[in-house]
Structure 1
Amino acid sequence: MGELGLGEQLSALRIPDLDATLGDVARVRVALSGGAAAVEALVGIPAGAVRPWAEDAIAAELARSGYRLGRLDIQQRIATHAVQPSLSPLPNIRNIIAVGSGKGGVGKSTTAVNLAVALAQDGARVGLLDADIYGPSVPMMLGLHGRPDSPDGKSIEPMRAHGVVAMSIGLLVDQDTPMIWRGPMATSALSQLLNDTRWGELDYLIVDLPPGTGDIQLTLAQKIPVAGAVIVTTPQDVATLDARKALKMFEKVEVPVLGLVENMAVHVCSQCGHAEHIFGDGGGQRMAVQYGVPLLGSLPLDVRVRELGDVGSPIVTSATETATVHSYKMTARRLAVQLSGRRQVASPLSVSLLS
């Protein structure tokens, strides 16, 4: 088999837990020298999603065709993806991803924080914007304290935690100060937080929206270039009913919905191991099928998610790879895969590593 055939063969390898092949997320090239193959992959998602699996899987596939793996080079090139037709992507932020929900109390902020940190752990440059002006919770969940710096009196340096740069109105006001603002003031604050923060170069900016479909969501859709949205829900019918409204809102403003995240899907008793669907069973999956969007993940109801979030240590930073940690990490990776398959403004995957 020649180099081209081997490249196609390797591209067909399926990545565990991601419902994607290597070729779905990477441009694969093979160069043969005797019985050895040099393999290079230009990956359009955070490379940490591929590296732990790739070497053994590629070596085993090559061995079936009579070659040994001489060299494996994996490089990451995350593209800028298309946004709403009336807007253009920001020059320093490749992809803005909105995380929304139809109602409060479904774990949207917890999900946004853990997705952002998980993407950073896989090697992406990630920012997190807390757009919940009235109820900012990101500073507590990331363990951020104090005030951000303003080097020139006009722009703001984001604060950093767990590999993510973050900005929130909660970092600029006292913790107990209520934001008693009408809609225009809140939406103006969101625009300022986005535009005045010195984000640097980012692959992803995760925006944690307030629940519902109000002024801030409309401002985001009309004025901020968004590459895609994620809807967080819980399984019960009343939550998915509201999540449907959020999904339809994004569709109307031409922001693609990358998928659903079903939170609190199942509780496993820490004492006896009994699994119970406290909030119902399968609501997220049924909604995903009905609207033709992927179910990115079903996250368990785990007390440690709350305990660690309260002390500023997102569950994905835990040293122990529990089922909950694994669920969050795989959800973040599936999100990256879904975005990578959408139309790109300029494709870095066209760059050849072998030239």
Structure 2
Amino acid sequence: MTPSVADRVREALARVHDPEIHRPVTELGMVASVDVSPAGAVRVGLLLTVSGCPLRETLRGDVVREVAAVPGVTGVEVDFGVMSEEQRRTLQQRLMGERGARVIPFAAPGSTTQVYAVASGKGGVGKSSVTVNLAAATARTGRTVGVLDADVYGHSVPRMLGVRGLPTQVEQMIMPPTAYGLRVMSVGMFTAGNSPVVWRGPMLHRALEQFLADVYWGDLDVLFLDLPPGTGDIALSVAHLIPSAQLVVVTTPQQAAAEVAERAGAVAAQTQQRIAGVVENMAWLGCPHCGERAEVFGAGGGASVAERLSRLLGAHVPLLGRIPLDAELRKSGDAGEPLVLASPDAPAARELRDVAARLAARGRGLAGRRLKLTPR
């Protein structure tokens, strides 16, 4: 039996994904109606999750593009409506299940998401720059990646990724904005202007829990967390909420920074976390004329941190890479475009891609998983 034009239109609508939820609009119950006139004019009724949806025109364009390509269609119009409260509750249940106590999907025994918490002993070592570039480099390989800016007091990830959109709330779900294919969330999206965040430990823990449980991240392959510097409340909360998270310790070459970074990594010994490795940032400066390398901040800090942490933990902690000091890395961050995308052939970008590849080659590990072993 030959499918009708209406059937083919519905097949085309299944190829339209909601830009925030990243799933077909047909699967989300967003298609309210499909009417096809004898002359082939199509009118699609589409339900938005919230009124004033900022991605309304993106949806319209996607619907028109897919439906107009269907043979027999002579024109396409899209009529927008808004989901009722009951429809939104149904959508939430479909995506996140029944809401009782908060559930963090990345802590579930069956989770396949690799979670990397990027840490440093002190500020100013380029931790956030490393985070956003590793995330962008990982997404460039086709993996689905999220970035959580957990540096509550010094949040900078939205600027570095050029995120201008705001999260959308549907019932108790928070839909994160996207940039360069990354799903991004930060407390900076909820503060006015450049207002500071003045919170104590319990509030920090609750905020982190909400970002992990109430945000609809979808099926992520990798989640990067940009932690605050030091060994404070957020670092301990991450270990409690996501035991499988692996630490990536960022340091600079000088010994003073390395010693502080070692303390940040040593937290893993007390929380039973794994350390994925150490990244030495600002490792050297290449002369633009002769190419000679100048070790402006000394040498060996990253290797010494990796060696000391290996001894402390009784397991090999690798030096994942040495990122050169590059003015373009700073410029790209200020411009809101990761260096690995803006200048992929820059020495720092190549090294960052190599670090991302080494992380991608690692397994998730067994922390937090049920092994399904039965004693005899």
Q: TM-score, with normalisation over the residues of structure 1?
A: 0.69
Tell me the equivalent position of 1:126.
Answer: 145
Change (3 A) 1:248 1:319: closer
* 3-state DSSP of counterpart to 1:150: strand
Change (3 A) 1:343 1:98: same
Change (3 A) 1:199 1:240: same
Q: In structure 2, what is the Cα distance between the partners aligned to 1:227 and 1:185?
A: 21
C-alpha contact (below 8 Å) 1:92/1:201 kept by paired residues: no
Q: Does 1:107 align with 2:131?
A: no
Q: Does 1:187 align with 2:205?
A: yes
Tell me the equivalent position of 1:137.
Answer: 156
Q: Does 1:173 align with 2:197?
A: no
Letter in 2 for 1:147: L
Q: Does 1:236 align with 2:254?
A: yes
* 3-state DSSP of counterpart to 1:184: helix
Instruction: Among all aligned residue pairs of Structure 1 and Structure 2, give the percentage whose two residues are the same amino acid.
Output: 44
Tell me the equivalent position of 1:70.
Answer: none
Tell me the equivalent position of 1:277.
Answer: 295
Letter in 1 for 2:353: K
Q: Deviations over 1:94-152 (max 9, x none)?
A: 22211101111110011011111111111211100000111110000000013211122
Tell me the equivalent position of 1:321.
Answer: 345
Could you tell me which of 182, 204, 213 is aligned with 2:222?
Answer: 204
Change (3 A) 1:164 1:180: same
Tell me the equivalent position of 2:117.
Answer: 98
Q: In structure 2, what is the Cα distance between the partners aligned to 1:334 and 1:161?
A: 23
Q: In structure 2, what is the Cα distance between the partners aligned to 1:147 and 1:322?
A: 31
* 3-state DSSP of counterpart to 1:250: helix
Q: Does 1:340 align with 2:363?
A: yes
Letter in 2 for 1:310: D
Tell me the equivalent position of 2:92.
Answer: none
1:273 shift after superposition: 2.8
Q: In structure 1, what is the Cα distance between the partners aligned to 2:193 and 2:274?
A: 34
1:319 shift after superposition: 4.8
Structure 2 stretches of 5 or more lacking a match? Answer: 1-105, 311-316, 372-376
Tell me the equivalent position of 2:333.
Answer: 309
Q: Deviations over 1:49-77 (max 9, x none)?
A: xxxxxxxxxxxxxxxxxxxxxxxxxxxxx
C-alpha contact (below 8 Å) 2:152/2:228 kept by paired residues: yes
C-alpha contact (below 8 Å) 1:148/1:159 kept by paired residues: yes
Superposed counterparts of 1:11-50, under 5 Å: none
Q: In structure 2, what is the Cα distance between the partners aligned to 1:340 and 1:165?
A: 22
Structure 1 vs Structure 2 CA RMSD: 2.0
Change (3 A) 1:195 1:342: closer
C-alpha contact (below 8 Å) 2:152/2:187 kept by paired residues: yes
1:323 shift after superposition: 1.8
Letter in 2 for 1:145: R
C-alpha contact (below 8 Å) 2:344/2:350 kept by paired residues: no
Q: Deviations over 1:187-222 (max 9, x none)?
A: 211111111111000011111100000011111111
Could you tell me which of 148, 153, 157 is aligned with 2:167?
Answer: 148
Aligned residues: 259
* 3-state DSSP of counterpart to 2:198: coil
Q: In structure 1, what is the Cα distance between the partners aligned to 2:147 and 2:344?
A: 24
1:92 shift after superposition: 6.0
Structure 1 stretches of 5 or more lacking a match? Answer: 1-86, 348-355
Q: In structure 2, what is the Cα distance between the partners aligned to 1:240 and 1:336?
A: 25
C-alpha contact (below 8 Å) 1:92/1:202 kept by paired residues: no
C-alpha contact (below 8 Å) 1:104/1:211 kept by paired residues: yes
Could you tell me which of 231, 253, 271 is aligned with 1:253?
Answer: 271
Tell me the equivalent position of 2:36.
Answer: none
1:93 shift after superposition: 6.0
1:89 shift after superposition: 3.1
* 3-state DSSP of counterpart to 1:104: coil
- Greater RCO, CA 8 A, separation 6+: 1
Q: In structure 1, what is the Cα distance between the partners aligned to 2:169 and 2:132?
A: 24
1:333 shift after superposition: 0.8
1:163 shift after superposition: 1.6
Q: In structure 2, what is the Cα distance between the partners aligned to 1:192 and 1:270?
A: 46
1:155 shift after superposition: 1.5
